[in-house]
Amino acid sequence: MPRFDFNPERLRVDSDGQVGALRIEVTSGALLSDVTGVLDYGYRTWTILPDPSPAPAVSGVISGVPVPAPGGNEFTVASFNLEGFYDTVNDPGTSDDVLTAAAFERRLNKASLAIRTMMLMPDIIGVQEAENLATLETLAARINADAMAAGGPDPGYKAYLEEGNDVGGIDVGFLVRLSRVTVDGVVQEGKDATYIDPNTNAPAILNDRPPLVLTAEVQGPTGVLPITAIVNHLRSLGGVEDPVDGRVRAKRLAQAEFLANLIQTRQLANPYERIISVGDYNAYEVNDGFVDVIGTIKGTPVPADQVVLAATDPVNPGLTDLVDLVPAAARYSYSFDGTAQVLDHVIANGHALQRFSRMHFARSNADFPESYRSDGTRAERVSDHDMPVAYFVFPGAPVLRLNGANPLPVECCGTYADPGATATDADYGDISSQIVVTGAVNADLVGSYEVTYSVSNGYTTTTASRTVQVADTTPPALTLVGDSPMTVEVGGAFVDPGATADDTCAGDLTGAIVASDGVDPGRVGTYRIVYRVTDGYNITSVTRVVNVVDTTPPVVSPVLPTSSVLWPPNHQMTTNVQTESAAFSPTTYRVHAAIAWRAIARREASVFIGNNPRRVSCSAGR
C-alpha cells in the first residue's frame, strides 16, 4: 500500500499573515529574499508569517510558457480544463454560476489567448467544465476571430458538446480545428450507465460528465490520418479518504473500469484504430492507494494488496500514459497547496503511441497566482489546470512488394493465378491482408492486362501495378490423315487424304489448313505436299511425301503383218527378226508397250513360232 509524506520539505509563506504586512504576488520559480517573520504551523505545513517591514524582496517572476510549435509533419491533440466556464445566462436546471457580461468577456479573451498563444492552437482540444454548447461555440468563434485579427488564417475551430449529468452544469466537449481536421462523428458514451452505490446498495448514475468520443481525420502533408479522441472528466478525489463513506472510491473505480472497457471494446472492433484519451482524470499517474484509476484505464492495475478497491483488467493490449514519457521535473498540471501533481493526462493505445512524438504542458495556470485571473489582457490563470499538448507525427507510406514476375506471362487458354503481393507498415507490421486488388485478367483472350494492388495504413495509400501478358505461343497441332510417304501407281488416281488441325485457344482449325500444289499421277516422281495452318499467332506445317511409281511391266501380243511397219505406225517399230533356219520366212509381230516418257527404247522379246523360240528386238519412240 503506497504512503505519501505530504512533502514535509515544503514551506509556506503567508505574506499578509501579520497585521500591516502587504500581500506578495509571486509565480512558481520566483525567489523571495530577506524573509523574516513568525514561524507558524497551519494546514499541516510549516508557515512563515513575514514581518511588515522590511518587506521581502521578490525576483524571478515568470510569465506563461507556451508549448513548442509543431513541425510540418506533426499534429497535436490537447486537453484543457476551462474551470467552470459559465456564461451570463442562468440555467434553472443546474447550480451554475452566472457571470456578468464583463466577466464573461474577460474569460473569453483569456481563454482565446491561452489557446492561441500558449497551446498554439492544437488540432483537437478536449475541454472540460464548459457549461453548454452555446458557451463553447462562443469561445470557438472568439478564437477564430482573434486569430484572423492577429493577421493569421482562420483556424476554423468548431465546438462539439453533449449535455451530461453534472449538477453543476459543466460538461466535456471538443474544440476541433476544421481547417485541418474532418470530423466523422461525435458520440456520447455512458450517460445512463450506473454503478452500485455502497451506501444504498442501489444503482446510481455513474458518469456525471460522460465521455465524448470523436472520430476524425487529420490532414497531413500527403494524406489524411484517422484518429479517435475521447475526452473525460472523472470524479474528483474529494472524500476519497472517508473511512465510512465508500461512495467516492466505488464511483472512481467504476468510472475507470467503464472507460477501460470502452477503449477495449473499440480496440477489439478495430485493431487498427488509433485511440487518444484526454482529460482531467482527477488521478495521479501513480496508484493513490484507494483506487488505481490510471493503472486501471491503462490495463495495468496494481495487485489487490496495494489498493483499497482492486480493479479488473479488461484492457489488452495495454495503453500508455504519455505523462510517463515527460521528464520527471515537468510532470505536473496542477498545484494543490503548493504540491505539484498531475491530474490531466493523455493516454494512447499502441497504434496511437507509434505516432507519438513528444508532449509538453502549456504553462499558463498552475504556476501563477489567482490575482492574474482578473487581468483580461494576459493568458495566465484563466484556469487552475495547465494544458497537456501531445504531438504526433504522420506516418510514412506502407511498403508494398509484388510476388512473382512483372510483367507476368500467361499462356492463352491456360490458368491465370495471381501471385499476389505483401505489405508491411511501420505501425501495423504485416498488413498483407489489407491489400485491395483491382483489375481482371481474361486468360482466354490474348492481350495486355493491368492488375493494381493498393494498401493503406489509414494515412497513405501505396499502389503497385502488374502487367499480365496473355500470349498464344503454342502452335496448332497439325496431323496428317493417312500415310506419309504414300505410293501411287503411275496412271492411277490420287486422292489427298488431307490433315486435321486443332489449337488450344482457337479450337478446330481443320478448315483453315492450306495445302501446296498437289500430285500429278501421270508422271513418275516424288512429290511433297506441304500443309500449313495458323491460329493467328503461330504457324504449323507438315509435309506428306507421295511417290508416283511404274511397277507394271509391258504386255507383248502378236499382230498380223501388214508391211514392214508394226502397228501403230507412229511407234516406228521395224522388224528385226533373226532366224536360225532359212526355211522360215520373215514374220511381223505387234508389240504393245506402255511407255511413260518420250524416249527411244529398245526392247527384246522371245517369240515362239511353233515350238521354236525366236528373239525379237524393236525400237520405239514418240
pLDDT tens digits for range 363-379? 999 999 999 999 999 99
Strand spans (E) along 433-485: 436-438, 447-456, 461-471, 477-480
Query: Is residue 232 a part of any domain in this protein?
Result: yes
What is the distance of C-alpha 253 from the center of its chain? Answer: 37
Lowest mean pLDDT among 93-97, 282-286, 364-368: 93-97
pLDDT tens figures, 222-244? 999 999 999 999 999 999 999 99
Residue 561 inside a domain? The answer is: no
Q: Is a pLDDT exceeding 70 seen at residue 350?
A: yes
What is the structure's pLDDT at 569?
54
Distances (CA, A) of 552 to 207, 256, 488, 549, 559: 119, 116, 12, 9, 22
The confidence score (pLDDT) of residue 9 equals 86
Place of cell 472524500: 239
Q: Which of 378, 393, 408 is the last residue of a domain?
A: 393
Domain ends where: 426, 449, 467?
467
407 and 485 share one domain: no
Q: Is the pLDDT of residue 206 over 80?
A: yes
Are 43 and 73 in the same domain? Answer: no
Q: Do 275 and 348 contact (CB within 8 A), yes or no? A: yes
Per the prediction, the chain carries an average pLDDT of 90
409 occurs within a structural domain: yes
In a domain, 554, yes or no: no
Q: Domain count of the chain? A: 5
* CATH code for the domain in which residue 490 is found: 2.60.40.10
Q: What is the pLDDT of residues 109-135, one digit of tens each?
A: 999 999 999 999 999 999 999 999 999
Q: Does 5 fall in a domain?
A: no
Q: Based on the fold, state whether residues 386 and 462 are members of the same structural domain.
A: no
| Shared domain check, 433 and 357 | no
Report the C-alpha gap between 364 and 618 in whole angstroms: 141
User: Is residue 3 in a domain?
Assistant: no
What is the DSSP track for 190-209?
A: -TT-EEEETTTTEEEE--SS
> Domain limits at 233?
63-393
Does one domain contain both 273 and 345? yes
Regarding whether 146 and 264 lie in a shared domain, the answer is: yes
Evaluate if residue 6 carries a pLDDT over 90. Answer: no
546 half-sphere exposure, CB direction, 13 A CA radius: 26
* Angle made by CA atoms 425, 429, 433, in degrees to the nearest 5: 90
223: in domain? yes
Is there a single domain that holds both residue 49 and residue 146? no
Q: Is the peptide bond before 317 cis (omega within 30 degrees of 0)?
A: yes
Residue 559: pLDDT band with limits 50, 70, 90:
low
Beta-carbon contacts of residue 508 (< 8 Å; ≥ 6 apart): 500, 501, 502
240 with 268, same domain: the answer is yes
Query: Which are the contacts of 205, defined by CB distance < 8 A and separation ≥ 6?
Result: 165, 192, 193, 194
pLDDT digits (tens, 9 = 90+) for 422-448: 999 988 899 999 999 999 999 999 999
Regarding beta strands 525-534 and 539-549, do their DSSP bridges make them parallel or antiparallel, or are they unpaired? antiparallel
d(CA 399, CA 461): 10
Overall average pLDDT of the 335-356 stretch: 95
Statement: residue 576 has pLDDT above 80: no
What Å distances lie between residue 414 and 178, 409, 445, CA to CA? 54, 11, 10
Among candidate residues 518, 549, 580, the one where a domain is terminated: 549
Question: Comparing 425 with 611, which gets the higher pLDDT?
Answer: 425
234-246: b (≥16 Cβ within 10 Å) or e: bbebeebeeeeeb
Average pLDDT rounded to a whole number, residues 288-292: 96
Together in a domain, 168 and 281: yes
3-state helix, strand, coil in the chain (%, to 5): 15, 35, 50
pLDDT at residue 560 in the model:
61
* Same domain, residue pair 448 and 538: no
93/233 same-domain check: yes
DSSP string for 520-581: -TTS-EEEEEEEEEE-SS-EEEEEEEEEEE--PPP-B------SSBPSSGGG--B--B--S-
Residue 7 lies in a domain: no
Q: Is residue 167 located within the same domain as residue 237?
A: yes
Burial of 172 from C-beta contacts in 10 A (0-12 / 13-18 / 19+)? buried
Q: How many CA atoms lie within 13 A of 397 on its CB side?
A: 13
